[in-house]
């Protein structure tokens, strides 16, 4: 089999060989992100399939936690595969990662659900998500390092930006496949069994990706160091237990943490916000998100190119700050244009739960054993399921909770002594009593398609995606240039995957848990805002600009 080769060119244009390297690296990474994000796009259905043993709110948060589990282990994948990449080579390491990712994704497609094998189903699912996370932890650093070490001076921002498009293109590809399958088999069949097809298709993508990766030759800078006998014998020690460790920490807090929350807020959280909080149907949501991704994706390349001209740091810091300052008005505008009835009803007939604060629980139970049976829990559970924003007002100790919708009062049920199933049934029954009141007040069960201002929603989503491109387009070149060749794979992978795996990957879970706890559909935005501001301050003060550095040691 012939290999795609390209030597490092200090100046000038990339050769045809360089362009093939970028294409091969990027295309394989697109498929890997496709595999990873199938789960996130199908979180609501997966919650019903694998977490049906808990209440609906907990089930969805638990499904998001399983999604986040893949992110939790990404730093460990970065350590394992980053070390291998710095010791044995970039090419073979990210060939292994793509095989691990593809097989794990395929197995999700054939995994029996909770109804078939009980608690073993979510347990196995989480194990597969962990395997995916380990694989992805070794993927990004390898692909970004590989491309950067082929790129000429003055072009690294531009050419690594093509790697930056892969996560978004992978998400877009997953949405296209999901939507195509859903439209082909119908909504009911898709939720019953059709959701498995996109996972099973990944085995084909795995074959294509492996074939592409096998044609790549080793990075010229790595090969040169190997020939000269200068490879690191202990990349973990050199990366984290030397003066380089300070740069790793600053890269995490001052670059990747903020980049990560802006990335996930602008794409995944926006998607969940539309479907879960605003009750927009999933097909419309996927089409709008997909449209925003198509419009916004070229900006990854634009900001990568711009970073070669004015610097990486300025663009990433600006993206974090602008996002933090505008998230609240943008998400409130999403409500106004996607489901204005919620906003109108909240103003004309605000909902509130009047209850003894000591009886109101944070309704998240990861093992499905705790019973939420107080009158406050039943009331807030019913409102959360209905997608109605609410506030909680203190009442005298021992009083039974009541829900006020405008001036209409409805007493909740006192569920003391009820088991989990009975408490859930009580919340459903109470919701049945509330529905006429909520309908009369103007709260919709679903977003009215005729009132969705699709052009404005698309515009807002595109703005959120452009924020993503600002922080993500230049980040690969910035990280590559912060670290020396002999430990580059290891050093850049860990801050990237802690930032994206922990700060970013847990964003949907943390944000929706905050919403469920407060009843305020915008409260979850405080998480990405705080992290983005932290990154802006630390990055501005302590990280250096790198666009003109020589990456050859």
Q: Are 57 and 370 in contact (CB under 8 A)?
A: no
Q: Do 223 and 317 share a structural domain?
A: yes
**Which residues have CB under 8 Å from 432's CB, separation 6+?**
none
Averaged pLDDT score across all residues of the chain: 82
Q: Do 478 and 460 share a structural domain?
A: yes
pLDDT at 468: 95
> Does the global pTM surpass 0.85?
no
CATH code at 410? 3.40.30
CA distances for 351 relative to 374, 392, 433, angstroms? 19, 9, 15
Query: CA-to-CA distance for 433 and 412, rounded, in angstroms?
Result: 10
Concatenated DSSP letters for 341-382? HHHHHHHHS-EEEEE-GGG------TTS-----SHHHHHHHH
Query: CA-to-CA distance for 171 and 488, rounded, in angstroms?
Result: 27
Query: Residue 552 domain-assigned?
Result: no
Return the minimum-mean-pLDDT range out of 40-44, 62-66, 364-368: 364-368
CATH code at 260? 1.20.1250.20
Is pLDDT above 50 for 6? no
Q: Do 335 and 349 share a structural domain?
A: no
**Residue owning tokens 């380990």:** 134
Q: Do 229 and 94 share a structural domain?
A: yes
Domain with 175 in it: 16-339+450-542
Query: Residue 309 domain-assigned?
Result: yes
Q: Do 531 and 476 share a structural domain?
A: yes
Q: Do 485 and 350 share a structural domain?
A: no
Domain final position from 390, 416, 441: 441
Query: Residue 240 domain-assigned?
Result: yes
Query: Residue 535 domain-assigned?
Result: yes
Q: Do 103 and 69 share a structural domain?
A: yes
Is pLDDT above 60 for 3? no
Domain count, the chain: 2
Domain final position from 393, 423, 441: 441
H-type helices in 73-119, by residue range?
Answer: 74-87, 90-110, 114-117
Query: Residue 161 domain-assigned?
Result: yes
Query: Residue 2 domain-assigned?
Result: no
- Kindly state the percentage of the chain with pLDDT values over 70: 82
Query: Residue 28 domain-assigned?
Result: yes
Query: Residue 512 domain-assigned?
Result: yes
**Residue owning tokens 């990210």:** 94
Could you count the other beta carbons within 10 Å of the beta carbon of residue 538?
A: 19
Residues of 253-274 as b/e, b for ≥16 C-beta within 10 angstroms? bbbbbbbbbbbbbbbbbbbbbb
Q: Do 202 and 283 share a structural domain?
A: yes
Is pLDDT above 50 for 9? no
């Amino acid at each position: 089999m012939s290999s795609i080769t390209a030597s490092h060119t200090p100046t000038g244009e990339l050769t045809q060989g360089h362009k093939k390297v970028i294409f091969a690296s990027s295309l394989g990474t697109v498929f890997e992100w496709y595999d990873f994000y199938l789960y996130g796009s199908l979180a609501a259905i997966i919650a019903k399939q694998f977490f049906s043993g808990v209440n609906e709110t907990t089930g969805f948060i638990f499904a998001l936690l399983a999604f986040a589990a893949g992110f939790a282990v990404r730093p460990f994948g970065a350590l394992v595969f980053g070390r291998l990449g710095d010791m044995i080579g970039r090419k073979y390491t990210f060939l292994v990662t793509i095989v691990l990712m593809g097989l794990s994704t395929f197995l999700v497609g054939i995994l029996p659900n909770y109804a078939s094998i009980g608690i073993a189903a979510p347990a196995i699912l989480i194990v597969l998500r962990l395997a995916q996370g380990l694989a992805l932890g070794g993927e990004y650093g390898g692909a970004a390092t590989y491309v950067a070490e082929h790129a000429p001076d003055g072009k690294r921002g531009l050419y690594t930006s093509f790697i930056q498009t892969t996560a978004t293109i992978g998400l877009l590809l997953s949405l296209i496949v999901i939507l195509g399958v859903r439209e082909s088999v119908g909504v009911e069949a898709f939720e019953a069994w059709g959701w498995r097809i996109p996972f099973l298709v990944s085995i084909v993508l795995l074959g294509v990706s492996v074939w592409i990766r096998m044609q790549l030759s080793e990075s010229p800078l790595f090969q040169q160091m190997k020939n000269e006998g200068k490879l690191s014998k202990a990349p973990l020690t050199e990366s984290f237990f030397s003066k380089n460790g300070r740069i790793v920490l600053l890269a995490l807090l001052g670059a990747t943490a903020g980049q990560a929350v802006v990335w996930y807020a602008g794409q995944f959280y926006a998607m969940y916000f539309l479907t879960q909080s605003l009750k927009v149907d999933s097909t419309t949501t996927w089409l709008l998100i997909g449209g925003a991704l198509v419009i916004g994706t070229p900006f990854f390349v634009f900001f990568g190119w711009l970073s070669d001209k004015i610097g990486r740091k300025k663009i990433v810091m600006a993206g974090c700050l602008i996002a933090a300052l505008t998230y609240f008005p943008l998400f409130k505008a999403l409500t106004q244009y996607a489901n204005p009835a919620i906003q109108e009803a909240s103003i004309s007939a605000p909902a509130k739960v009047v209850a003894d604060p000591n009886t109101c629980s944070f309704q998240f139970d990861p093992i499905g054993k705790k019973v939420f049976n107080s009158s406050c829990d039943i009331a807030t559970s019913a409102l959360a399921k209905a997608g109605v924003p609410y506030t909680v007002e203190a009442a005298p100790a021992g009083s039974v909770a009541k829900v006020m919708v405008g001036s209409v009062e409805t007493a909740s049920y006192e569920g003391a002594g009820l088991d989990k199933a009975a408490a859930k049934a009580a919340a459903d029954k109470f919701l049945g009593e509330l529905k006429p009141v909520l309908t009369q007040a103007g709260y919709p069960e679903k977003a009215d398609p005729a009132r969705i201002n699709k052009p404005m929603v698309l515009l807002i989503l595109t703005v959120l995606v452009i924020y993503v491109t600002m922080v993500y387009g230049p980040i690969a070149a910035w990280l590559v240039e912060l670290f020396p060749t002999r430990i580059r794979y290891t050093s850049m992978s860990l801050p990237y995957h802690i930032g994206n795996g922990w700060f970013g990957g847990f964003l949907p879970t943390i944000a929706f848990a905050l919403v469920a706890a407060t009843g305020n559909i915008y409260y979850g935005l405080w998480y990405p805002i705080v992290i983005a501001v932290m990154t802006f301050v630390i990055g501005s003060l302590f990280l250096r600009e790198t666009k003109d550095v020589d990456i050859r040691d």
